[in-house]
Amino acid sequence: MSSKSAGSANTETLLRVMADNAKPDQLPAGLTVEDIKRMYEGMIAIRAYDERQKNLQRSGRIGFCVTSTGEEAVQVGTAHALQPNDWVYPYYRQYGVMMYRGVPLNVLADHLYGNQEDLAKGRQMPAHYTHKDTHFVSSSSVIGTHLIHAVGTAMAAKYRKDPSVTVTYIGDGGTSSNDFHSSLTFAGVFKPPVVLFIVNNQYAISLPVAKQCGAETLHAKGAGYGVPAIRVDGNDVFAVYQASREAYARARAGEGPTLIELFTYRAGPHSSSDDPTRYRGKEADQWLSEEKDPIARARKYMQKLGIWTEAYEEQVWEETRTRINLATTEAETTPEPSWASLFDDVYEEVPPALARQRDELLETESGFERQHEGEFPL
């Protein structure tokens, strides 16, 4: 019996493209030079966004944030293979998929502040992004519940003969949830066009994988449900893309679901409310080294291909930070949602009792402002 746990690298089982012996002139399958640059720039955008939102939270300008430092390849690799009509059911760490699919940065920034332009109208917890036009469905704080929704959406597409694919993500800890079991059972039986990504970043908040799962690898769980599964180096953006593209093609061809374990590492805290130094050492530094960091590895590969320069690197970072800073500055100066918006989207037609409460609240608020005008300067 092997002593390896689901949290170990077990490199023999990992799909990789950026191996040490990769030829300098070898482009990853299905990708052009322009694709590779776009993917690299997409990973930089996610890290720069993390950098900005972390600083905003630490300075008290926003209340909460979730970062995904070290997991950029997971988001960009899976997103690059998507088509516009595909559906995405994320958990709270996949906002980079939104960014990569072209959602404007101000949409993300407005959500950080919960201002009046926030698509969730200030009613959602920060990091629960949503975007209807790109089929990016708001996540839930309850672990695993979105998996059932994703499988259901995929089944609806199958009934309607819709060529879309539904993708969803769950962390390593989420694979122990009841809804993971229910979703995989359903997917294995009815074969909807769904791809389930296990983002094995090795910690479920403070709990390492080995303490919550006895399986040697997490993708091994697929066999018990009759769902084809593969384990991928989640810090190899081109391997993530390759596995995703093949799984999406299977789904579109009517061949059913795929379970993909993306082995990566959460280099930052679980959220801005977490202190990872209390449960792990300095291993995060190793995962941000030149050998493991997904951005550094892609950069090295691009150097082999002769499509990277220091000037290009500096330009990408400068332009990206400028766009992010502009979006967050605008979001910070956008007013909060009005009190009246509390009553929007509750009923199609506001019932009389709720209308009376709304009118009473607005009258009281208006009178309070007149009575105390100038007493509470910003």
| Active-site residue list | 266, 270, 279
Query: Exposed, middle or buried by CB within 10 Å (0-12, 13-18, 19+), for 48?
Result: buried
The answer to whether the beta carbons of residues 165 and 195 sit under 8 Å apart is yes
Strand partners, 200: 263
Residues ≥6 apart with Cβ < 8 Å to 62: 53, 56, 112, 113, 126
- Report d(CA 195, CA 215) in Å as an integer: 21
- What are the start-end ranges of the E strands in the chain? 87-89, 166-171, 194-200, 203-204, 207-208, 229-233, 258-263
Report residue 98 as tokens.
């939104």
Report residue 104 as tokens.
């404007």
Angle subtended at Cα 109 by Cα 86 and Cα 311, rounded to the nearest 5 degrees = 85
SS3 at position 269: coil
Angle subtended at Cα 31 by Cα 28 and Cα 35, rounded to the nearest 5 degrees = 125
